[in-house]
Amino acid sequence: MIRLPAEPSRYRVAVWRELRRIGALSLGQGVWAVPDVPVFADGTARALDLTERSGGQAVTLNASGRGPEDAARFRAMFTAARSADWTEFLADCGKFEEELAKEIRIAKFTLAELEEEEQSLERLRRWHRDLTARDVFGAPEAAEAGERLRQCAAACEDYAERVFAALHQVPEEGR
């Protein structure tokens, strides 16, 4: 549970961003929850440090539900949040594949464009790794996301081969 000063708002935003970044589930105003597993420890510590440095107050609790239905409800809520993250990831995979298809369609086979696409693929890989670490209960979209990332990597490899083929073409008069 976190209480922060109203002003300046940058403190609330910084704590909120850190908690969102680690995948914490907002249960209500100033109340956040994560499963009690090591993957969340560093991010939780950073959020608590930010809270303290901003003059706010935090209370951390180890909580369990009153009954099995409460634990199941938390698990469902947390998994639904991860499902939303995976859905966003899948949409970005689609955008990545569309971008590569466009570059192929217009025959934009440059090293600069290849580097930009490889950076986009690396961003997808980092995002996938982070989501996998936070998805402690196994959202159903995770398997599809892994496959889509493999497809994105293969599409990027295909694009790279096209770029290198275009760059190594010998002009007609040079033959």
77 half-sphere exposure, CB direction, 13 A CA radius: 15
- Taking residues 77-85, what's their average pLDDT? 97
- Taking residues 92-101, what's their average pLDDT? 98
Report the distance separating Cα 41 and Cα 44, nearest Å.
Answer: 5
Whether the model pTM is above 0.85: yes
- What value does the mean pLDDT of the chain take? 94
Report the distance separating Cα 152 and Cα 54, nearest Å.
Answer: 41
- Does the pLDDT of residue 39 top 60, yes or no? yes
pLDDT of the residue at 6: 85
Q: What is the pLDDT of residues 132-169, one digit of tens each?
A: 999 999 999 999 999 999 999 999 999 999 999 999 98
- Does the pLDDT of residue 82 top 70, yes or no? yes
Cis amide prior to 68 (ω within 30 degrees) = no
Give which of 18, 124, 22, 143 is closest to 78, Cα–Cα. 22
User: Does residue 136 contact residue 77 with C-beta atoms inside 8 Å?
Assistant: no
pLDDT of the residue at 121: 98
Helix (H) or strand (E) segment spanning residue 27: strand 25-28
pLDDT of the residue at 172: 62
- Taking residues 11-40, what's their average pLDDT? 93
pLDDT of the residue at 65: 86
Give which of 25, 16, 82, 5 is closest to 46, Cα–Cα. 16
Structure tokens at 25: 């589930």
pLDDT of the residue at 107: 96
- Paired with 28 in beta bridges are 31
- Does the pLDDT of residue 174 top 80, yes or no? no
- Does the pLDDT of residue 93 top 90, yes or no? yes
pLDDT of the residue at 21: 93
pLDDT of the residue at 173: 62
Rounded to 5 degrees, what angle do the CA atoms 154, 88, 147 make?
30
Largest CA distance in the chain: 81
